[in-house]
């Protein structure tokens, strides 16, 4: 990818799954990585360093703006700048609407939607001062098309698309880019919790590619959108789903 070497990339939810794969992919492209997560991200840091890139782990609660600001301050103190923010932290608390609790709604919205707002607002002053920067957010095909039992998750993932498009309109002239990646069913811990029978009979049959996606395939989309190859792409949503939404 053009233009990623020595870039400083901050990735939330980077301890596992898509976030971890994305950290490793950016390391392979020569970027420096801030591994941010509520849980221990030292394993990801080790794998990034094994690729020959520099990395630092920062614990963060994306629902807490003070915690987010402390994360950004540490990143700036360590690397001097932030070139790319990847808002990847997310949770699920699924239930059919008639059984969904207010607590389940609040928890998912706090992490998946407000967390994206918090991280972007904390990084934004630095990117505006640089007159450059890329903010990428993990949405979902569920955010585009809805899904049974995921009112809260779908709302949060649709919401980040709306924010992303608004930010692109506001700040494209200022040298900043904002895009989303919308993964389909990816072989992560979240999907592995789905019962095998449901996976085979309800999900895989809907994916023309005939398989789950790999975290590395989503990471590749993030790397492309962060690179100079995508410098005229702004306010877009890139689906990585094996054609499951066609």
Catalytic residues: 153
List, in order, residues 6 or more apart from 109 with CB less than 8 Å away. Answer: 152, 155, 156, 159
Element counts in the chain: helices (H) and strands (E) = 10, 7
CB atoms within 10 A of CB 66: 10
Please name which of 1, 49, 9, 57 lies closest in space to residue 29, comparing C-alpha atoms. 1
- Would you call 105 exposed, middle or buried from its count of C-beta atoms within 10 A (0-12, 13-18, 19+)? middle
Please state, in angstroms and as integers, the Cα–Cα distance from residue 177 to each residue in 31, 55, 84, following that order. 18, 24, 10
């Amino acid at each position: 990818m053009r233009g990623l070497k020595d870039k400083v990339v901050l990735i939330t939810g980077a301890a596992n799954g898509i976030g971890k794969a994305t950290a490793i992919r950016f390391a392979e492209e020569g970027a420096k990585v801030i591994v941010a997560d509520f849980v221990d991200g030292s394993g990801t840091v080790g794998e990034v360093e094994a690729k020959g890139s520099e990395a630092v782990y920062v614990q963060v609660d994306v629902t807490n703006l003070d915690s987010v600001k402390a994360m950004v301050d540490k990143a700036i103190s360590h690397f001097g700048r932030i070139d790319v923010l990847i808002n990847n932290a997310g949770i699920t608390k699924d239930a059919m609407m008639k059984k969904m609790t207010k607590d389940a709604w609040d928890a998912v919205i706090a992490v998946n939607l407000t967390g994206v707002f918090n991280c972007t607002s904390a990084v934004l002053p630095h990117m505006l001062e640089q007159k450059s920067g890329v903010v990428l957010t993990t949405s979902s095909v569920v955010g585009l098309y809805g899904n049974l039992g995921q009112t809260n998750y779908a709302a949060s993932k649709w919401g980040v698309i709306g924010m992303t498009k608004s930010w692109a309109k506001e700040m494209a002239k200022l040298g900043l880019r904002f895009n989303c990646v919308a993964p389909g069913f990816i072989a992560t811990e979240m999907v592995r919790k789905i019962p095998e029978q449901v996976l085979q009979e309800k999900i895989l049959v809907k994916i023309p590619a005939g398989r789950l996606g790999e975290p590395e395939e989503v990471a590749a989309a993030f790397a492309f959108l962060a690179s100079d190859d995508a410098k005229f792409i702004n306010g877009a949503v890139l689906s990585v789903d094996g054609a499951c939404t066609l």
